[in-house]
Structure 1
Amino acid sequence: MRKVKKKEKIYFPDPKFNDPLVTRFVNHLMKNGKKSVAYNIFYNSMKKLDLIKKSEDKSVIEIWKEGLKNVTPHVEVRSRRMGGSNIQVPVPISSNRKITKAMKLLISCASIRNEKTMANKLAYEIWDAFQEQGESVKRKENIHKMAEANKAFSHFRF
């Protein structure tokens, strides 16, 4: 085989919610190896989300997972050189990459919001994603629109 299958990384559960998906999210949130700062940002955003959720009967971790699910793209476009031009070929995404892409979308869209702290930005972006609003959901839909527009090139999958 030309391409070797990448070994799947094992994530240990986080101390508060005991969920490996939270650890994975915090790893994406982390900058310069400061994991404790990233955990503080995530936990503070969960506290803020608890105040935001109003009369919602779900827990904050369920809201976060639902918001993450709403941001998860199912297809993406990849460039492929055909003849003298580059074409965008829609390709289905693997489950592991879906989660990674959703997490990165959520974090990048949260960082450009106008709230004061990153914890507040993240909390409001998660809430918007839960309600299927906000910038991260728009970006996901934009990815899907690009794939739909280039559906004619789908037979060039690689």
Structure 2
Amino acid sequence: MGRITASKKQLKGDPKFNSLLASKFINCLMWDGKKSVAQGVFYDALEEIGRRGDIADKTPIEVFEQALDNVKPYIEVRSKRVGGASYQVPMQVNKSRQQSLAIRWILEAIRDKKGRPTHIKLADEVLAAYKKEGVAYTKRENTHRMADANKAFAHFAW
């Protein structure tokens, strides 16, 4: 069973953009309680996105939000045990889980890449997700493909 936290009630917007989504992402990016380091990495990545210039008249925070929307899964498979057998049943994903999965997949993608500064890896992955490509977007596509392949077991979703 998951832990119950008051983080949704306590969450305040980030200092630069006053965005709750950015604040949530910074909190997930943070390691060992070093929030200022995580904020620095996030804001440097947004500066890098703005510097690249291949975004059509959008601010870097809008590009980030659109990239996260592109990575959000709408359907996923869950294991369901019926009569001694386990089935991969496709199910709808609620809004908060969509957001947390998208954040998790982007962070996994940048942490798996080695050899470059984190803010550059983050900028690359956000731009790739914005263009509907990259590791995190591929993960979403694979999730949707698996759910589509297991459509035959949808009647077990009760």
Give the alignment's TM-score, normalised by structure 2. 0.90
Counterpart of 1:113 in structure 2 is 113
Counterpart of 2:127 in structure 1 is 127
What are the superposed Cα offsets for residues 98-154 of structure 1, whole Å, 9 maximum, x if unpaired? 111111111111222355111110000000000111111111000001110111111
| Cα distance between partner residues in 2 of 1:101 and 1:146 | 16
Q: Alpha-carbon deviation of 1:20?
A: 1.0
- Which structure 1 residue ranges, 5 or more long, are not aligned? none
1:154 equivalent to 2:151? Answer: no
Counterpart of 1:9 in structure 2 is 8
Q: Find the residue that maps to 2:31 and give its secondary structure.
A: coil
| Cα distance between partner residues in 2 of 1:30 and 1:84 | 42
1:45 equivalent to 2:45? Answer: yes
Paired amino acid for 2:76: E
Counterpart of 1:30 in structure 2 is 30
Give the alignment's TM-score, normalised by structure 1. 0.90
Q: Is residue 75–residue 91 contact of structure 1 (8 Å, CA) maintained in 2?
A: yes
| Cα distance between partner residues in 2 of 1:34 and 1:6 | 20
- Which structure 2 residue ranges, 5 or more long, are not aligned? none
Percent identity of paired positions between Structure 1 and Structure 2:
37
Counterpart of 2:60 in structure 1 is 60
Residues 24 and 6 of structure 1, relative CA distance in 2, 3 Å threshold: closer
**Number of matched pairs:** 154
Q: Alpha-carbon deviation of 1:7?
A: 6.8
Counterpart of 2:141 in structure 1 is 141
